[in-house]
Amino acid sequence: MTYRFIVKGKVQGVWYRRFVSENAKKAGFKGYVRNLPDMSVEAVANIENEERLKEFIEILKKGSPYSEVKDISIEEINDIQFDDFEIRY
């Protein structure tokens, strides 16, 4: 399954995407993270089950030391297969 997350708060200009990308890769997730024009961040990932979904949400919640996550919205989207986890610009 593929999920799309919108993360709001202090998440741009604070190494948030890099943190998410590195930790998602370490945990074996595939997808991407990118900044959005409204100062939020979008993450899209392939997630196999409920346990992995919780694990990915924890990565998004934790964020980088300078970030401050205020809200995360989640939606299941049409399945997209990724080969790796990357930062998109």
User: Quick one: tokens of 2?
Assistant: 């593929």
CB–CB of 85/24 below 8 Å?
yes
Catalytic residue among 4, 18, 34, 35: 35
Phi, psi dihedrals of residue 4, rounded to the nearest 5°: -115, 130
pLDDT at 49: 98
Give yes or no: 78 in active site.
Answer: no
Give yes or no: 18 in active site.
Answer: no
**6, containing H or E segment:** strand 2-10
User: Quick one: tokens of 54?
Assistant: 């919780």
pLDDT at 39: 98
CB–CB of 70/9 below 8 Å?
yes
Catalytic residue among 17, 46, 52, 88: 17
- pTM for the whole structure: 0.97
pLDDT digits (tens, 9 = 90+) for 14-65: 999 999 999 999 999 999 999 999 999 999 999 999 999 999 999 999 999 9
